[in-house]
Amino acid sequence: MKIFFYKISSFLMALLVLFSTVSFTVESHYCGNVLVDYSLFNEAESCDMDMDQSMHVHQMKASKDTFTEKKCCHDQIIIKTGQDNLNISIDNLSIDQQIFVVSYVYTYLNQFEGLKYKVPSFSGYPPPFIVKNIYKLDETYLI
């Protein structure tokens, strides 16, 4: 039970660090008071009302009329910035700490070096001859 609690708490703390450092933008397009489109990663698509109004205003300007209509569509952008102060610099470490970090990384990377060729440990000892199939005699089968 105690191990399960530690796993859950460490997972929640990792999610907390992740969500506190991630930044994202939410764009939404409203036509009047109605939500037409929203987007998390790219721009929200606008409706056809924007194009109709811009053409109408352009035609009015061509006729030298100073009357312009108010647009009914608008975009709303919500920006959530993450933390940027989690930078770790090695300049603040003392000489002893730097030596420890270098030696730890060196031993960790060299831990996974393999041998150039595989040498079986049983090459000098041949396997025994099978006289009878013991699993058949005892009727024990691995499934």
Express each pLDDT in 33-86 by its tens digit.
888 888 887 777 777 665 545 444 444 455 455 555 567 888 888 888 877 776
Structure tokens at 129: 């001859």
Q: What is the 3-state secondary structure (H, E, C) of 114-137?
A: CCCCCCCCCCCCCCCCCCCCHHHH
Question: Which of 9-18, 90-99, 119-128 has the least mean pLDDT?
Answer: 119-128
Secondary structure element (H or E) that encloses residue 56, with its range: helix 49-62
131 inside domain: no
What is the extent of the structural domain holding 71? Answer: 2-80
Does residue 87 lie in a domain region? no
Q: Are 42 and 29 in contact (CB under 8 A)?
A: no
pLDDT digits (tens, 9 = 90+) for 79-122: 888 777 766 666 788 889 889 989 999 888 877 766 677 777 77
Has residue 18 been placed in a domain? yes
The pLDDT, as a whole number, for residue 47 is 75
Nearest alpha carbon to residue 81 among 131, 123, 24, 32: 24
pLDDT band at 9 (very low <50, low <70, confident <90, very high): very high
| Count: domains in the chain | 1
For residue 97, is it within any domain?
A: no
Does position 14 have pLDDT exceeding 60, yes or no? yes
- Is pTM, for the whole model, over 0.85? no
Asked whether residue 94 is assigned to any structural domain, the reply reads no
- Most confident range (mean pLDDT) of 14-23, 50-59, 127-136 is 14-23
Alpha-carbon gap, residue 58 to 79, rounded angstroms? 33
Alpha-carbon span 50 to 141, nearest angstrom? 74
Mean pLDDT, residues 1-16 taken together:
90
More confident residue, 71 or 5: 5
Secondary-structure breakdown of the chain: helix, strand, coil percentages, each rounded to the nearest 5? 40, 15, 45
- The pair phi, psi for residue 31, each rounded to 5°, is -115, 105
In a domain, 126, yes or no: no
Domain annotation covers residue 76: yes
Is 70 within the bounds of a domain? yes
